[in-house]
Every structure is written in structure tokens, then in C-alpha cells.
Amino acid sequence: MKVRYLLHLYEQGTRDFSGADLCGADLRGVTLIGVNLTGANLRGANLSRAFLTKSDLSGAQLNWANLSFAKMSEAKLVETELTKANFSGAFMVKSKLPGAKLSGANLNGANLRRANLWGANVSAADLQRTNLRDTNLSGVNFNWANLSEARLVGAKLYGASLNGVNLSKAFLKEVDLGGADLEGVNLREAKLNHANLEGTNLTRANLSEAHLFGANLKGADLTGANLTKASLEQANLTWAILKKADLSGANLSEARLNGIDFEDMELGGAILPESNERFLYLAM
């Protein structure tokens, strides 16, 4: 379909463009609010700064499409093909993307607050500085994705796959990651205040300079983890495994350390609870 003809039909009141072939089309800055583009072929199309509010692109082909800075609040992209698509700076508040395929996509700086990405595949995607506050991320495949400085406060991450993910400087206050597999994950300088990490696998994770004030790390496996200069004030580390962990310079004031085995870990310069005597007593 020719772009000029599509825009003419839109101006005449047509909203159903399902199945349209717009492969490689130049649709920069167009207004297509509330349109039906389900099953459309938009591979490689340029939709940068387009207005697609409340539009339905479910099942569409948008691989390699450019949607940078597009306005897509409340848009539907259910099981849409979005591999290597560019959503940098896109406004996607309350958008619906269950089952969407976003592998390798660029979502740098996109706003997905209160969106639904249940079961989506965003493996190896760029999500730096992405706003994912209050977003449903249950069952999402984040393997090897870059979530550095992403905002995840209030996000639902139940069953999400996080192998090799980069969460450095991410905002994860009060997030529930209890029982998650975060082995080797980069959480350097992450904001995890009051987060639930009970029973979480944090083996060899990088938590250096992380903010873990009041965090629940009860029973967490921190074997070989890097916790240098981490803020662990009032954190619950009861029965946590800290074998070969490095807590050099960490702040453990008022932390709960019952059941901890303090052998074979680095504590140089760490701030201990109340006093060394209290600390050793808890270690027994």
C-alpha cells in the first residue's frame, strides 16, 4: 500500500488497515491514532515520531522498524514481531506487549510505565534508562539484556529470566526478586533498598556499592559475591551463604546476621553491627 493512499484513507475516516503491506515505508511523524494494523507488514518501516496512540499492531511484522520517539501509549502489540526494532525514546505508557518478540531491540530511554510485557522476549535488548515502573514483566526473557539505570520500582518480575543481565545502577527499590536466579548478575550501584531477595541465588553477583538498606536477603546464596562498599544497614542476612564473599568496606550496621558463617570471607574495613563482640556473638 502506498503511504499517500493510506494517509488519504485515514483522513477520510478509515481506521482498518489490517494486513497492509507497508514494508520499508516512510511514515515519519504520521498521525495514525486508533488504527487497526494487526498482521500488517511494517518490516524496516520508519515510524519515528509517529503518533500511534491506542493503535492495534498485534501480530504485525515490525522487525528492524524505526519507532524512535513514537507516541504509542495504550497501543496493542500482542505477539508482535519486533526483533531489532528501534524504540529509543518512545512513549509507551500502558501499552500491551504480551508475548512480543523484542530480541535485540533498542528501548534505550523508552517510557513503558504500567505497560504489560507478560511473557515477552527482550533478550539481548538495550533497556538502558528505560522506565519500567509498575510494569508487568512476569515471565519475560531478559537474558543478556542491558538494564543499566532502568527504573523498575513496582515492577512485577515473577518468573522472569535474568541470566547475564546488566542491572548496574538500576532502580529496584522494594522489588520482589525472592527466589530468582541472579547468578553472576551485575548489580553494581543498584538501588535495592527494602527489596525482597529472600532465597535468591546471587552467587558471584556484583553488588559492589549497591544500596541494600533494609533489604531481605534471608537465606540468599551470596557465595563469591562482590559486596565491597555495599550499604547493608538494617538488612536481613539471616542464614545467608557468604562463603568467599567480599564485604570489604561494606556497611552492616544494624544488619541481622544470625546463622552466618563468617569464615572464608573478606571483611576488611567493614562497618559491623554495634561492636565486634556483638558481631562475633551472632556468628556463633
Instruction: Give the pLDDT score at 276.
Output: 43
Question: What is the number of residues in the chain?
Answer: 284
Residues 42/26, Cβ–Cβ less than 8 Å? no
Counting residues of the chain whose pLDDT is more than 90, the rounded percentage is: 93
What is the pLDDT, as a whole number, of residue 281?
40
pLDDT at 272: 86
pTM: 0.92
Rounded-to-integer distance, Cα 4 and Cα 36, Å: 17
pLDDT given at position 2: 93
Cα separation values, 276 from 60, 111, 148, Å: 62, 47, 36
* Residues 108, 26: Cα–Cα separation, whole Å: 22
pLDDT in tens, 237-275: 999 999 999 999 999 999 999 999 888 899 999 998 874
Give the per-residue pLDDT at 273.
86
Q: Which residues contact 14 (CB under 8 A, 6 or more apart)?
A: none
Vertex 167, ends 269 and 82: CA angle to 5°?
175
Helices (H), the chain: 3-11, 276-283
For 7-41, what is each residue's pLDDT tens digit? 999 999 999 999 999 999 999 999 999 999 999 99
Confidence label for 283 from pLDDT (cuts 50, 70 and 90): very low
pLDDT in tens, 172-224: 999 999 999 999 999 999 999 999 999 999 999 999 999 999 999 999 999 99
Q: Report which DSSP code applies to 279.
A: H
Amino acid at 246: D
Give the whole-angstrom CA distance, residue 272 versus residue 41: 61
Q: Distance of alpha carbon 59 from its chain centroid, rounded?
A: 23
Q: Among 66-75, 82-91, 225-234, 252-261, whose mean pLDDT is lowest? A: 252-261
Q: What is the pLDDT of residue 278?
A: 47
pLDDT of residue 261: 85
Question: Distance (Å, rounded) from C-alpha 270 to C-alpha 249?
Answer: 4
The CA–CA distances, whole Å, from 59 to 42, 43, 132 equal: 11, 12, 23
Residue 240's CB is within 10 A of a number of other CB atoms, namely 27
Q: Model confidence over 120-140: pLDDT tens digits?
A: 999 999 999 999 999 999 999
pLDDT for the residue numbered 58: 98
Question: How many helices and strands (H and E) does the chain possess?
Answer: 2, 0
- Residue 15 identity: R
Collapsed DSSP state (helix, strand, coil) of residue 45: coil
